[in-house]
Amino acid sequence: MTSEIVSIRSVSRSFGDLKVIRDLNMTVREKSVFGFIGKNGAGKTTTMKMILGFLKPDAGSIAICGEAVRYGNTHTNRMVGYLPDVPEFYSYMTPREYLRLCGEMTGLSPARTKARIKELLPLVGLDGAAKRKVKGFSRGMKQRLGIAQALLHEPRLLICDEPTSALDPVGRREILDILANVREQTTIIFSTHILSDVEKICDTIGILNNGRIVLEGNISDLKDDYRSDKITLEVNGGESLPVFVEMLTSLASITELRQENHTFRITTSNLPETSTDVIRILNESGVQLRKFEVQEPELEQLFIEVTR
């Protein structure tokens, strides 16, 4: 049975009169890539700061690998690597010098630190820049160095707070590739509002809305549960078109139908049944088909539905 790496139970947190987190319950299981998603200001960063012991919950409990997180001085952080959205470095150092300093601070032996640096710099694509000063690094290079620093002590949990939000498409792809490569080594919490990034690397998600998890689970299973397939049809016009439209609107499996000239966008609760009926109606009405395209459920569609 897969063990729980993070367990959050009935956690609340307010800032003055503003209640940011409300009775939050969340579980992150071992060796998963957990997409922690929500709108800007939903409370994702507040939650992660509580997991790290930087903020004290007003109520509830948080545990990492079964050990309670304690505000201000928590031993659980020895099991956690953290990549903030804007990592900061000593700009006069090289990556090797910076990682060596981090190794000393975390109590790694010089030999182990040296071995880890040798492993990590190629992993994050910085072996060719190991002797360059950090002050000359791009934003993407700094993010990659941040990942190396977060993984230096071989944590059981890696927390990434909006790691791709300020990067260009190439930089985003590089970070996602790195995280995909380390998923076998550690559990990852990937906090973001970029849903396409979540679909690329995450296997499970938790959607935060109004301070609570409103949906949590395996992405594929959740898509099936909230499935609402879409079909795009393009047909030729002609005298038969009104008959085709009338027959199409009579189908019970169609939950939404939009028409733009000769293009029809169909939302259906039963894709096989609707597809069969559409082909039948095309044959019976005599309307000629130009395009038939099925659009599978997307995470964006699910996100919008549960956060309305």
Q: Is the pLDDT of residue 1 over 60?
A: no
Q: Where are the domains of the chain?
A: 4-219, 226-306
pLDDT score for 82? 94
Confidence of residue 298 (pLDDT cuts 50, 70, 90): confident
Query: Is CATH 3.30.930.10 correct for 4-219?
Result: no
Q: pLDDT tens across 253-288, in order?
A: 898 899 998 999 998 878 889 999 999 999 999 999
If you write DSSP's letter for every residue of the chain in order, what string do you get?
A: -PPEEEEEEEEEEEETTEEEEEEEEEEEETT-EEEEE--TTSSHHHHHHHHTTSS--SEEEEEETTEEP-TTS-GGGGGEEEE-SS----TTS-HHHHHHHHHHHTT--HHHHHHHHHHHHHHTT-GGGTTS-GGG--HHHHHHHHHHHHHTT--SEEEEESTTTTS-HHHHHHHHHHHHHHTTTSEEEEEES-HHHHHHH-SEEEEEETTEEEEEEEHHHHHHHT--EEEEEEE--STTHHHHHHHHHT-TTEEEEEEETTEEEEEES-HHHHHHHHHHHHHHHTPPEEEEEEE---HHHHHHHHT-
Mean pLDDT across 81-99? 92
Q: What is the mean pLDDT of the chain?
A: 91
Q: pLDDT tens across 2-58, in order?
A: 589 999 999 999 999 999 999 999 999 999 999 999 988 889 999 999 999 999 999
Q: What is the CATH number of domain 226-306?
A: 3.30.70.920
Q: Is the pLDDT of residue 112 over 80?
A: yes
Confidence of residue 108 (pLDDT cuts 50, 70, 90): very high
Q: pLDDT tens across 138-163, in order?
A: 989 999 999 999 999 999 999 999 98
